[in-house]
Chain A
Amino acid sequence: MTNELLNELTFFVLAVFVGIEVISKVPTILHTPLMSGTNAIHGIILVGAIVIAAGAHTPVTIALGLVAVTLATTNVVGGFVVTDRMLEMFKGRQPAKPKAPEAAKQ
């Protein structure tokens, strides 16, 4: 086993534990935003997509690179924006409260 692979395996195993540990106590109301947030984080595949697209020169690699970059960017941008919209709802509650009675229909 090469040194590099060994290193990578170490990162992998440690990341498993961190991943489990870090969200072990999450209230139910945050399940949906948390899922959406982790969803955005795996958009890191955009790094991989850019790496393979950068050196593209045959029609096949160009097509693969283009689609991969498009999909991955959609994942990253959409993931973060939609999570932010969700969490905005939670935050907007306090300042919105005083306005609420007026906004209600008379």
Chain B
Amino acid sequence: MTTLIALAYLVAAVLFILGLKQLSSPKGARNGNFTAAVGMVIALGATIPLLHFTRAGLTIIAIGVVIGALIGSIGARMVKMTAIPQMVALFNGVGGGAAALVAVAELLGFGTHPAFSEALPSVFSIVIGSISFAGSMVAFAKLQELMTGTPITYPGQQVVNGLLAAAIIGFGVAVLAIASIPFSFIALMLLALILGVAFVLPIGGADMPVVISLLNAFTGLAVAASGFTLNNFALIVAGTLVGASGSLLTKLMSDAMGRSLANVLFGAFGQVHAGATAAASGQARSVRSGNAEDLGTLLAYSQRVIIVPGYGLAVAQAQHAARELADVLEKRGVEVSYAIHPVAGRMPGHMNVLLAEANVPYEQLKEMDQINDEFKNADVALIVGANDVVNPAARSTPGSPIYGMPILNADEAKNVIFMKRSMRPGFAGIDNELMFGPKTVMFFGDAKDSLTKLVAAVKAA
């Protein structure tokens, strides 16, 4: 019997690996997700015969599965494509919470003198799982705009976080050494929850994807640790797979932003209080601001238009309006393409998902390397809610916080239409020289409204 279960776990592990492999190529991605789901069903099915259920146990499992399945499927189906990142954060957080609770239950079951090799992974799982849970909830709140997306910082923050971490290690040792103190893990859990919140607070909304990816890896490791306590092969392998691939993915994501992970986590990016100075200098300098009619005419009589979609487009859910504009332009014979910065939108790859949702033809989506040389031949670069990814300071100003980040060469186009809600700086909190450029016309307003106005203006032109 146990041999059969072990074999089933092995099959599940293989399916997880194959699923991940398929997920990392565009062709097989959807099958990959399905493959992994089959692995999950096999692992769950194999576990049931292993157990002796109490009546209460059976009842709570049934209730828990029904409630969880309802929340999970309804949440995942209802969520708008633009809100995907916070949904991933939420699902990640509950996984971390579950891992911590499983470890707590195990620790309670060991009695007063658990073997070190079993107590250690439990403590690890409680701490990491709790951090992941609390951190993911803050990430969710920030992206859902339940709280401010800007970094929350105060003097001595790093010290406080350091002390919290030290206290957690101290308590962890105490729980391991003097395990006879009942419920000492509650203090451990509370401290870890506080650290999870404190750790994510100083990180800005634009960097949240990297944080979610990191917390995703954390949850994976917490699950693996629970696997060590429960002596469960499936948990160890699947948790470790996620821990390892999640860590690498985190690194790839921060690389795509041209930043180091340490900079993302501890840099408190917006703290470069350039925000205030930028606003001040923004007022002092004049920009050209255009109206829909003029800009519509400019677009209608162009030959090549490159749309640069950004975070603002995602927030305003303007992907459909953008496609509509592209359609009316194409009908007039204008060549339209989209320049996709690797970190455009709210997550790497998020913009592709959004534009695919609006049925933008795949050939029109151009990656940064493909399109950067084409800007100089473009009549108009239409920037919709993007900012830092077209800031020439990344090329020209060595002192700038975004210096060295790969950017789109929108400034090389013959005309630049900069659609933005206000003169507020982007997440990097710095001025964008491009807004003041001689070729640039600002078009203020919500991205969706503005695009709709442009559609009308192009039709009238």
Contacts and interface: CB of A to CB of B under 8 A. Distances in A.
B359 A93 contact: yes
Contact of B245 (A23, A90, A91, A96): A23
Interface residues of A, number: 91
B394 to A, nearest CB: 18
Interface string B4-47: 00000000000011011101111001101110110110011001
Contacts of A96: 359
Interface stretch (B62-70, B271-279, B428-436): B62-70
B246 interface: yes
A18 B50 CA distance: 28
B37 A80 contact: yes
A75 B72 contact: yes
B61 A53 contact: yes
Interface size class of chain B, counting residues whose CB lies under 8 Å from the partner chain: 35 or more
A65 B353 CA distance: 37
B64 A45 contact: no
B409 interface: no
Interface string A1-41: 11011001001100111111011111111111111111111
Nearest to A35: B213
A38 B33 CA distance: 9
B44 A47 contact: yes
B216 A38 contact: yes
A82 B40 contact: no
A27 B24 CA distance: 7
A105 B324 contact: yes
User: Interface SS of chain B: helix, strand, loop or mixed?
Assistant: helix
B105 A64 contact: yes
A78 B76 contact: yes
Given A70-B67, A90-B30, A22 B20 contact: yes
A84 to B, nearest CB: 6
Contacts of B147: none
Interface in A58-97: 60-62, 64-94, 96-97
B293 interface: no
A54 B102 CA distance: 12
Contacts of B75: 74, 78, 82
A68 B361 contact: no
B98 A49 contact: yes
A32 B84 contact: yes
A87 B347 CA distance: 15
A21 to B, nearest CB: 9
Contacts of B349: 28-33
Contacts of A33: 23, 29, 33, 349, 353
A80 B95 CA distance: 13
A14 to B, nearest CB: 9
B95 A38 contact: no
A86 to B, nearest CB: 6
Interface in B215-273: 216, 219-220, 222-224, 226-228, 230-249, 252-253, 256
Interface string B184-228: 000000000000000000000000010011001001101110111
A7 B128 CA distance: 23
B441 interface: no
Interface in B304-356: 323-324, 327-328, 340, 342, 347-350, 352-353, 356
A41 B102 contact: no
B256 to A, nearest CB: 6
B359 A75 contact: no
B52 A62 contact: no
Interface stretch (B85-93, B160-168, B397-405, B442-450): B85-93
B412 interface: no
B197 to A, nearest CB: 18
A9 B325 CA distance: 57
Contacts of A49: 64, 98, 101-102
B98 A75 contact: yes
Nearest to B215: A39
Interface of B: 16-17, 19-21, 23-26, 29-30, 32-34, 36-37, 39-40, 43-44, 47-48, 50-54, 56-58, 60-61, 63-65, 67-69, 71-73, 75-77, 79, 81, 84-85, 87-88, 90-92, 94-95, 97-99, 101-102, 104-106, 108-109, 117, 209, 212-213, 216, 219-220, 222-224, 226-228, 230-249, 252-253, 256, 323-324, 327-328, 340, 342, 347-350, 352-353, 356-357, 359, 361-362, 367
Q: What 5 A-B pairs come out closest when comparing CB atoms? A: A73-B68, A19-B244, A69-B64, A77-B72, A78-B72
Given A32-B347, A55-B54, 20 more contacts: A12-B224, A16-B243, A37-B20, A40-B36, A42-B95, A43-B91, A45-B95, A49-B98, A54-B58, A54-B61, A65-B57, A66-B60, A70-B67, A71-B68, A71-B97, A74-B94, A82-B91, A83-B33, A86-B84, A91-B30
17 contacts: A5-B228, A17-B244, A18-B241, A19-B243, A33-B33, A33-B349, A34-B20, A35-B88, A44-B43, A45-B223, A47-B232, A54-B51, A61-B108, A62-B56, A70-B68, A74-B69, A88-B30
